[in-house]
Structure 1
Amino acid sequence: MARLIPNIDVDEIDLKPERDVARALVDQLPNNVLVLHSYPWLRPDRNDRTGKVTLIEGEADFLIVWPEMGILVVEVKGGTIKYDADNRGWFRELGSYSKPIKDPFEQARRNSHQIVGLISNRVYGGNSPPFSHGYAVIFPDCIYSGALPPGADAAITLSSNDLSSIADKVARALRQWARTATPYAFSKEELGKVQRAILPAFNILPVLFRTIEEQEERLIRLTDEQIRLLAFLGDNKRVAIEGVAGSGKTMLAKRQAETFAEKGMKTLFVCFNKELANWLKQELPGELDDLVHVHHFHALCAQLCRRAGIGFNPPERNSEHFWKEEAAYLLLDALEFIHEQYDAVVVDEAQDFYPDWWEPLEQLNEAKENGFLYVFYDPAQNLYNDGKVFVPAMGEPFRLPTNCRNTKAISGTCSKILKREIATHPLAPDGVSTEFITEKKHKIPPAIDSMVKQLIAVDKISCSQVVILSPNRFKNSCLNGLNKIGEQKLTFDTSEWRHDEGILFSTIRSFKGLEADIVILVDVVEPGSVEHFGISDLYVACSRAKHILKIVSDRKIEDLIV
């Protein structure tokens, strides 16, 4: 039994004449024969009158590839067919009406020349193929008598009588077309090339930037929990919101600050991370600048100390005590000399705030502990307090358990890191699995270089969509010494990165609170094996990726996560 292409049941062929021919061919021809039904071709052709190149199309009813015999194009003319010898005209009889049709032998000839020409160009460098090739016409609903018309021969003219012996008739036609005494048989390699010529491997691959665009539309920014929370916040003065990474805490904090300002309330918006504060300043509506003051905590301390004439001079070495405690004490001192009051205070990244920071923030609130205070935090992202969260007593927190920023694949990686399930919105895209790449240290920079080239040149990703994160500062990272990656500028400036002027390199802790479509995580070691890289750091790093996460290391990090 021959193989029919497309791979369908013969009964699915709509036209009965073609269905009957297909069944005869498939049933009678050997197993290694290909029978292609409705094989289309398309070629450019110059119009002699206009000079314009246009496309000419055609379709062979059947294309038979018989490895031991050759290639035959078969034209099927079903129904009652008539030939007018005086005018060389062909007609199909439709009751009392005769419909002119094309010369079937000319159609078969034209189709054969186009298909064999295609094979010639793709396999034999434009030379005539060595195998037997030609065409035949079959009238499955008719028999014929008399002399054959010009352009026809008995060997290539088949009728309904020939359906029961069609394999013999196809072999006879190919022997008649052969230029040699015996038919030319394809070698295995040659047959493969001919098949690829008529059935080329046309691969349709998703373009990554389009995939990301589609996924971005599906990422649900406001879950049902968040919608309920927005309504809930308006009736409460002191609220704590605890949420997993990607649950929209920063977005809600920003929206709440805007809500306060829209009511005419002077609002202090404080976070831990300097880069997050810079991003929030850019994202807040310009008309609210006078009412919403955005600072990371230490910048707030420095600014108010300067206004109060108090020195704010962190030591170059052993500065940890200064940043954890002394800065907050200096801020309290400054508030005794200046009058700076707010109607509301909004705090993001509160899990990283130290105990002594809350008193000056309460002092900045016009109504002190009775004023509006909104605190957003995620205990799992605690990078500085040894796992302890020092949030003021504000009653039971409102919890946001659903990740609505990351794909399900990335959220799944984060779940494995924390060893607990993180809920994702049911409509969130599945995304692609986290890619773990293990390379020797000296091979990591070229590997990342190739990765970035692929993303930019082939996948059409913008620089502003890619960030390289490391637990280490650049001078201690595997990329130290590079100023370009994947032929793109390597930048440490988030503003340049956002303006698509380079690929950003950042430490994990500096990038906390921000996000990128694609995160490449490098210099990864076993969490806890070095002081500045624990489970929380790995969780924070991975949860920064919205769509694509690649983890590159010289050790099997996947085993540590799973």
Structure 2
Amino acid sequence: MERIVSPPRAELKNLRQSLTDGEWMVFNFFDRYLDPAWEIYVQPHLNGLRPDFVLLNPAVGIAVFEVKDWNFNAMSYFIETKGNSAPKLLANDGSHTFLVNDNPIEQLFRYKREVFELYCPRLQQRAGFALVTAGVIFTNADTDHIRKLFQPSMQYRAMLEYPQYTPVSGRDALNSGDISIVFPESKRKYSRYMNTELAKDLRNWLVEPDFSKAQRLPLELDANQRFLVNSRTKTGYRRVRGAAGSGKSLVLGARAAELVGQGKKVLVVTFNITLLHYLMDIAVRWPNKTGNTRKQVTWLNFHMWCRRVCEDAGFEKEYRDLWDENESTELVLSEGLPNLVEKALTNKPELITFFDAILVDEGQDFLPKWWNLLRKVCVKDGEMLLVADVTQDIYETAGNWTDDAMTGAGFSGPWSELPISYRLPQDALKQASLFAEHFLPGKDTILPMRQQDALDLEPTYLRWVQTDAASAIEICLKETLSFFTEDTFSDMAISDTTFLCSTREQGFAYVKAIGAKGIKSVHTFDPDDRESRRQKVGFYMGDARVKATTLHSFKGWESRILVVLIDGKPNRKNLALIYAGLTRLKRSPLGSCMTVVCTIPELAEYGKGWAGIHS
């Protein structure tokens, strides 16, 4: 039989976090000496942990291994014991002694405990520890030396009684090919506590997430998109509009990378903080041999750019006073802040950073005066790009972009159009279009269009649950877990799951509920505004945990597995927000899942059209 390796062997050299020489040595060791029934998972997203290797055998159990390439010639290590507290690992470099935070024995203890506590509905909890091995391999030291060094730590954690479940080994064991030293339990043929159903539960935690796979793939653009990436207009001004999933952000991210490759100084601006990580991840997938897109592009949301301008120009006090003296954030953003930035740009232009190109995503969220402020820091004969979809006008700002405003913003001629939606599975595209036609009619509404030669090959699971507000969070949790307990599709990673809702209160309730199941999440729901902003800055799809954020913050993003809670009043603003949520699903040849939990009675009839969509 052929061994399962995730990511596949051919992709290991392309991982975002490259394998070290020692990790390659260990991978090749496992691949050579383990029975083929043992599956190898490299750097898996394990409920917030990122161990180096996890091994799984459906008949035997699971093993987590950490690899240490420590140079014992450069550093002297020793263990310090004090009272009843856990022994500490210290090191001396010849001039001073310091604490080593990542004591590998403590890591093993944590790995074993957290694997045991994973949400696996079919795991017999009393027998769980017998299924789990947690080991560490030192590639630059011998086994006897390592075991002697860590003996106090292992004794403290009661690992010496059953050493086969916490093996510690060194380079001599690797060089000799002795798998019984490195991984004693690998010789076991079966365990009465392990079975194929439990292995399925565990694989949901181990298979490589869809987002990680995508990061290794170059961007695929059609001829129209590629033209927009590789060209500029005579004036340097271009506006692009398209439906959800039509590749607007792909074009913007690729154009940013292309301009960096030409030696240009580039600024990318969004309204939402969270969208910046997504755009960075797009940009690095565009081939660029002469620049570092992630570092060389300036990535800012509009508010942060304003703050930076004020600070650079010496208006920091005025900036702070502006927020202290006004209770209305909306008034500050629409009037006070633009006026202060205008003053800074006028009075201190020599202190302000100028750019060769300025690219704005989700342009329907911007006011024309914001755009015109950005124009002031674009060099003469520079480039300005605005991409937009007015159907997703969740802040009701798109109406400010009249024909006169467009002319005053430097635009002439028609929009560049991106009519085809590539992101959405065909069933989801149909339902999103029906929603927009019925609830968001208007001359500016842009319906997603399917690719003419597209085949309905991607499996899709769509579900609509109509309920009341009191039951909504409980149902959202139930629907999330059902994706995995019911084996909806193959190779579904729990860390690909994204939960979206309208308010922090709902989001925090969901995070608590799923956390009670032992499932960790990265979210943006802290009640403190400053902490919530920090969470948004750190929110990205490559995180090893379940994702949870607001519909506002996820606009522009995409996910293979979605649970969307929609509530509130059925006004146009909220309906535009709901439409944005319905269009976040990403197609996948392995299948895509979206469940909508709705508490709005007026949408119940529409929701009936989702019944039985499981292709």
**TM-score, normalised via structure 2 length:** 0.51
- The 1:284–1:230 alpha-carbon spacing in structure 2 relative to 1, beyond 3 Å, is closer
Match of 1:366 among 365, 379, 393: 379
Q: Which residue of 1 aligns with 2:605?
A: 559
For residues 230-258 of structure 1, what are the alpha-carbon distances to aligned partners after superposition, in whole Å with 9 as ceiling and x for unaligned?
Answer: 45547661111111111111110011111
* Matching residue's letter, 2:454: L
Separation in 2 of the partners of 1:308 and 1:421?
Answer: 44
Quick check: 352-361 or 461-470, which moved more?
Answer: 461-470
For residues 87-131 of structure 1, what are the alpha-carbon distances to aligned partners after superposition, in whole Å with 9 as ceiling and x for unaligned?
Answer: xxxxxxxxxxxxxxxxxxxxxxxxxxxxxxxxxxxxxxxxxxxxx
Contact 2:276 2:301 in 1 (8 A): yes
Deviation at 1:404, TM superposition (A): 0.6
Structure 2: stretches of 5+ with no match in the other structure: 1-199, 285-290, 438-445, 524-534, 587-591, 610-615
The yes-or-no answer on 1:268 pairing with 2:296 is no
* 1:357 aligned counterpart, secondary structure: helix
Q: Which residue of 2 aligns with 1:329?
A: 339
Q: Which residue of 1 aligns with 2:584?
A: 544
Separation in 1 of the partners of 2:506 and 2:544?
Answer: 21
Structure 1: stretches of 5+ with no match in the other structure: 1-204
Contact 1:325 1:356 in 2 (8 A): no
Match of 2:454 among 407, 427, 430: 427
Quick check: 463-472 or 268-277, which moved more?
Answer: 463-472
Q: Which residue of 2 aligns with 1:64?
A: none
* Matching residue's letter, 2:472: I
* Matching residue's letter, 1:417: F
Contact 1:409 1:431 in 2 (8 A): no
Q: For residues 54-453 of structure 1, what are the structure 2 equivalents within 5 Å? A: 221-233=220-232, 237-281=236-280, 283-285=282-284, 287-289=292-294, 291-311=296-316, 312-313=319-320, 314-315=323-324, 317-335=327-345, 336-337=347-348, 338-367=351-380, 370-390=381-401, 391=406, 392=409, 393-419=411-437, 421-425=447-451, 426-427=453-454, 429=457, 431-432=459-460, 434-453=462-481
* 1:434 aligned counterpart, secondary structure: strand
- The 1:250–1:283 alpha-carbon spacing in structure 2 relative to 1, beyond 3 Å, is closer
* Matching residue's letter, 1:452: T
Deviation at 1:265, TM superposition (A): 1.1
Separation in 1 of the partners of 2:560 and 2:232?
Answer: 30
Deviation at 1:511, TM superposition (A): 1.3
* 1:514 aligned counterpart, secondary structure: coil
* Matching residue's letter, 1:550: T
* Matching residue's letter, 1:237: G
Match of 1:473 among 491, 498, 504: 504
* Matching residue's letter, 1:409: D
* Matching residue's letter, 2:246: S
- The 1:506–1:321 alpha-carbon spacing in structure 2 relative to 1, beyond 3 Å, is same
Separation in 1 of the partners of 2:427 and 2:584?
Answer: 13
Contact 1:273 1:513 in 2 (8 A): no
Deviation at 1:472, TM superposition (A): 1.8
Separation in 1 of the partners of 2:369 and 2:358?
Answer: 16
Contact 1:272 1:349 in 2 (8 A): yes
Contact 1:381 1:537 in 2 (8 A): yes
- The 1:260–1:227 alpha-carbon spacing in structure 2 relative to 1, beyond 3 Å, is closer
For residues 264-317 of structure 1, what are the alpha-carbon distances to aligned partners after superposition, in whole Å with 9 as ceiling and x for unaligned?
Answer: 111111111100123334554472356421111111011121122213232473
Contact 1:470 1:477 in 2 (8 A): no
- The 1:226–1:387 alpha-carbon spacing in structure 2 relative to 1, beyond 3 Å, is same
* 2:298 aligned counterpart, secondary structure: strand
Match of 2:492 among 438, 461, 470: 461
For residues 167-220 of structure 1, what are the alpha-carbon distances to aligned partners after superposition, in whole Å with 9 as ceiling and x for unaligned?
Answer: xxxxxxxxxxxxxxxxxxxxxxxxxxxxxxxxxxxxxx9x9989989x989999
Q: Which residue of 1 aligns with 2:549?
A: 506
Q: Which residue of 2 aligns with 1:146?
A: none
- After superposition, the CA RMSD in angstroms is 3.5
For residues 409-438 of structure 1, what are the alpha-carbon distances to aligned partners after superposition, in whole Å with 9 as ceiling and x for unaligned?
Answer: 111121012107521123264542531012
Quick check: 380-389 or 508-517, which moved more?
Answer: 380-389
* Matching residue's letter, 1:372: E
Deviation at 1:491, TM superposition (A): 2.9
Separation in 1 of the partners of 2:264 and 2:217?
Answer: 35
* 1:376 aligned counterpart, secondary structure: strand
- The 1:424–1:348 alpha-carbon spacing in structure 2 relative to 1, beyond 3 Å, is same
- The 1:487–1:535 alpha-carbon spacing in structure 2 relative to 1, beyond 3 Å, is same
Count of equivalent residues: 351
* 1:277 aligned counterpart, secondary structure: helix
* 1:274 aligned counterpart, secondary structure: coil
- The 1:220–1:500 alpha-carbon spacing in structure 2 relative to 1, beyond 3 Å, is closer
Contact 1:417 1:538 in 2 (8 A): no
Separation in 1 of the partners of 2:549 and 2:266?
Answer: 30
Separation in 2 of the partners of 1:296 and 1:212?
Answer: 26
For residues 4-55 of structure 1, what are the alpha-carbon distances to aligned partners after superposition, in whole Å with 9 as ceiling and x for unaligned?
Answer: xxxxxxxxxxxxxxxxxxxxxxxxxxxxxxxxxxxxxxxxxxxxxxxxxxxx
Q: Which residue of 1 aligns with 2:57?
A: none
* 2:344 aligned counterpart, secondary structure: helix
Q: Which residue of 2 aligns with 1:484?
A: 515
Contact 2:246 2:448 in 1 (8 A): no
- The 1:232–1:308 alpha-carbon spacing in structure 2 relative to 1, beyond 3 Å, is closer
- The 1:332–1:278 alpha-carbon spacing in structure 2 relative to 1, beyond 3 Å, is farther
Contact 2:278 2:540 in 1 (8 A): no
Separation in 2 of the partners of 1:283 and 1:308?
Answer: 32
Contact 2:246 2:420 in 1 (8 A): yes
Separation in 2 of the partners of 1:347 and 1:227?
Answer: 18
Quick check: 272-281 or 478-487, which moved more?
Answer: 478-487
Separation in 2 of the partners of 1:253 and 1:515?
Answer: 16
Separation in 2 of the partners of 1:279 and 1:373?
Answer: 20
Q: Whose strand proportion is higher, 1 or 2?
A: 1
Higher relative contact order (CA 8 A, sep 6+): 2
Separation in 2 of the partners of 1:211 and 1:515?
Answer: 13
- The 1:219–1:443 alpha-carbon spacing in structure 2 relative to 1, beyond 3 Å, is farther
Separation in 1 of the partners of 2:505 and 2:389?
Answer: 27
Separation in 2 of the partners of 1:432 and 1:210?
Answer: 19
Separation in 2 of the partners of 1:543 and 1:491?
Answer: 22
* Identical pairs, percent: 20
Quick check: 218-227 or 257-266, which moved more?
Answer: 218-227
